[in-house]
């Protein structure tokens, strides 16, 4: 590729530097627009991946870089001709290997100017780094596997740092560490693409729909840059490329639920398993998780089921993969299924943890995009292309407009081992809203033994150091809900109970990759944490009740002026590694939960 179709890497490094301490999402978007406008269309996909801190979308089988801290220290030592002990000493002082590389590179550049003829000694002046050179070298690092790969990785990283300017070196090292800390989410990139290539944020709707159907932001960016926003109108799902899954709201009042979905609805069991998006093309089957990770290797038995029982050349179907008792076919809890992730001998795991698949949707069939078709049509097609067996079947369901029947079906689902039920609209506008949460699907989960009707999934955005036996350890987490309208995380509570001693011992290590020096630009908090995190880790939380608090920003001013919604006596249940931060409980969901709780209290008070 000619340099005219490439981008100097220093442009990216300078933009990254300019936004490192920015706390305004608007300013981040402006910086991204500036960067995208400077980027030649041929490399815009690679620039977007670099912004995301990746070498491609998560679902692609790109190995991790495999460069640990020790190897990175060796590479920095080799590149800047200093001892490893000097690098380690500087690392202890600065606390950031990116800053160490920047400091040592700057020192070497200064020495170059002082020493006559040093360029000859160094082998001549190096050519400026470009996006292609950096990206392709990092890809080679990731692909280096097997015998001799460690030495090859060391040489490649060292060579890249040798050619880099001090600022470039800083961000190359941080990329390798997985600690860019830029605060740029997909939503910010989508806004920037809309402004840069569509003239305003109004173009985002079309760009986002294309991204939801083809979950590859680099690919979508390249189409927009090369062919224009209108070219995205022709985008449809492709087998082998995950579709961002449709999400559900939550309610616990059958009358209100049916009103929200328009009366009559399809009601399905909500299974406690792994949501799987199953892609079939001829004899090839790929399975993606709700986080769009390729989990095919975990479920060769499901691959076999799909090959034998999907009567289509090409199809994308969705279902829940659930652990079962092999003797009775009774449903088993999610924790049983997770044993598959820990098993290296997958054939043994298949015997120890057998599964069943309960299918509930089809979004692509033999070349046709079904996402704009109403649910009844999709359901009919699903029924036609599925050959049911005992372990491969449609989700148990009924169609009803009766709240009492809904409630009885819900109780039956609980009795059968499900989490609850999903209520789905079946009117003419009941399309598949890829990547979106709305009132077309509503989850109705079982009550827990607490005044809080349900657990919530919240994002850890900060931490506090404990006292006593927790002294020196992160013992309490600041948790936040997601607000998709502003693409921010708003604080709900501080949680310090429910953790085991093992959880506490691992807390520092768990959050080490995500610790940042300042509040993340997508975090809205009135509370000052001891330590701030990138909003990545999702936890399931239960509490006594929802309450109002002047300290938290979730639903601020929505119920009462000067207060937000918080959780009284919150307790940690488990980490939700199957969820992205953007899949967490939303601000609107918490507001709905609070209103239902208030209504229940008022009704009980009236009865008294």
Q: Which residues are catalytic?
A: 270
Q: Which residue has the tokens 């599925």?
A: 386
Q: Measured between alpha carbons, how far is residue 598 from residues 119, 383, 453, 578 in Å? A: 74, 42, 12, 31
Q: Are 194 and 200 a contacting pair, CB within 8 Å?
A: yes
In whole angstroms, give the CA distance from residue 276 to residue 260: 27
Helix, strand or coil for residue 425? strand
Q: Are 463 and 238 a contacting pair, CB within 8 Å?
A: no
Give how far the C-alpha of residue 98 lies from the chain's centroid of Cα atoms, to the nearest Å.
Answer: 25
Q: Which residue has the tokens 């960067």?
A: 35
Count how many residues are written for the chain.
608
Q: What angle do CA 553, 555, 560 make, to 5 degrees?
A: 100
Phi, then psi, of 127 in degrees rounded to 5: -80, 145
Burial status of residue 122 (CB atoms within 10 A of its CB: 0-12, 13-18, 19 or more): middle
In whole angstroms, give the CA distance from residue 126 to residue 22: 32
Helix, strand or coil for residue 307? helix
The number of beta carbons lying within 10 Å of the beta carbon of residue 332 is 20
Phi, then psi, of 576 in degrees rounded to 5: -110, 75
In whole angstroms, give the CA distance from residue 272 to residue 409: 16
Nearest to 184 by CA among 508, 487, 414: 487
Show the tokens assigned to 394: 């449609």
Helix, strand or coil for residue 47? helix
In whole angstroms, give the CA distance from residue 474 to residue 173: 26
DSSP codes joined into one string, 347-380 = HHHHHHS-EEEEEEEEEEETTEE-TTS-HHHHHH
* Start-to-end Cα distance in the chain: 78
Supply the DSSP symbol for 496: -
- In our burial notation (b when 16+ CB lie closer than 10 A, e otherwise), range 232-253 reads beebbbbbebbbbbbbbbbbbb
Nearest to 278 by CA among 269, 263, 270, 289: 289
In whole angstroms, give the CA distance from residue 449 to residue 97: 47
- Give alpha helix (H) positions in 519-573: none
Helix, strand or coil for residue 17? helix
What secondary structure, in 3-state letters, does 166-188 show? HHHHHHHHHHHHCCCCCCCCHHH
């Amino acid at each position: 590729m000619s340099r005219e179709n490439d981008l100097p890497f220093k442009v990216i490094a300078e933009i990254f530097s300019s936004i490192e301490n920015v706390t305004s999402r608007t300013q981040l978007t402006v910086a991204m627009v500036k960067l995208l406008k400077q980027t030649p269309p041929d490399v815009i996909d690679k620039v977007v991946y670099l912004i995301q801190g990746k070498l491609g979308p998560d679902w692609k089988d790109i190995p991790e870089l495999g460069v640990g801290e020790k190897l990175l220290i060796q590479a920095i030592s080799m590149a800047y001709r200093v001892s490893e002990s000097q690098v380690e000493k500087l690392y202890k002082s600065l606390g950031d290997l990116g800053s160490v590389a920047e400091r040592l590179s700057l020192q070497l550049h200064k020495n170059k100017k002082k020493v006559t003829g040093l360029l000859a000694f160094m082998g001549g002046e190096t050519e400026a780094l470009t996006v292609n050179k950096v990206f392709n070298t990092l890809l080679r690092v990731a692909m280096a596997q097997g015998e001799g790969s460690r030495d090859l990785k060391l040489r490649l990283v060292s060579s890249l740092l040798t050619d880099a300017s001090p600022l470039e070196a800083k961000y190359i090292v941080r990329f390798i560490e997985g600690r860019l800390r830029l605060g740029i989410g997909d939503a910010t990139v989508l806004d920037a693409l809309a402004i840069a290539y569509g003239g305003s944020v109004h173009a985002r709707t079309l760009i986002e729909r294309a991204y939801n159907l083809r979950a590859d932001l680099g690919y979508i960016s390249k189409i927009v840059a090369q062919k224009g926003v209108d070219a995205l109108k022709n985008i449809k799902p492709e087998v082998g490329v995950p579709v961002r899954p449709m999400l559900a709201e939550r309610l616990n009042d059958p009358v209100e639920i049916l009103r929200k979905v328009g009366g009559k609805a399809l009601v399905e069991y909500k299974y406690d398993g792994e949501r799987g998006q199953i892609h079939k093309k001829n004899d090839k089957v790929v399975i993606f998780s709700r986080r769009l990770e390729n989990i095919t290797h975990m479920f060769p038995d499901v691959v076999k089921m799909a090959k034998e029982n999907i009567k289509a050349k090409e199809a994308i179907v969705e279902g829940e993969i659930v652990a079962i008792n092999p003797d009775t076919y009774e449903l088993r809890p999610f924790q049983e299924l997770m044993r598959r992730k820990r098993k290296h001998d997958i054939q043994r795991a298949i015997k120890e943890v057998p599964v069943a698949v309960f299918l509930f949707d089809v979004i692509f069939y033999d070349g046709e995009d079904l996402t704009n078709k109403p649910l009844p049509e999709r359901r009919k097609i699903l029924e036609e292309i599925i050959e049911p067996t005992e372990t491969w079947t449609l989700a148990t369901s009924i169609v009803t407009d009766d709240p009492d029947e809904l409630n009885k079906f819900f109780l039956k689902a609980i009795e059968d081992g499900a989490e609850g039920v999903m209520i789905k609209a079946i009117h003419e506008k009941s399309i598949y809203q890829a990547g979106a949460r709305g009132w077309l699907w509503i989850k109705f989960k079982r009550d827990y033994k607490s005044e809080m009707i349900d657990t919530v999934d919240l994002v850890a955005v900060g931490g506090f150091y404990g006292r006593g036996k927790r002294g020196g350890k992160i013992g309490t987490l600041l948790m936040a809900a997601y607000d998709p309208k502003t693409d921010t995380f708003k604080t709900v509570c501080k949680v310090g109970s429910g953790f085991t001693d093992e959880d506490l011992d691992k807390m520092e290590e768990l959050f080490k990759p995500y610790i940042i020096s300042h509040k993340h630009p997508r975090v809205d908090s009135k509370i000052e944490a001891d330590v701030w995190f990138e909003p990545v880790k999702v936890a399931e939380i239960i509490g006594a009740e929802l309450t109002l608090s002047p300290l938290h920003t979730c639903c601020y001013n929505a119920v009462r002026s000067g207060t937000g919604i918080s959780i009284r006596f919150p307790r940690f249940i488990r980490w939700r590694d199957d969820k992205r931060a953007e899949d967490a409980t939303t601000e609107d969901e918490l507001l709905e939960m609070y209103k239902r709780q208030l209504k229940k209290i008022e009704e009980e008070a009236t009865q008294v």
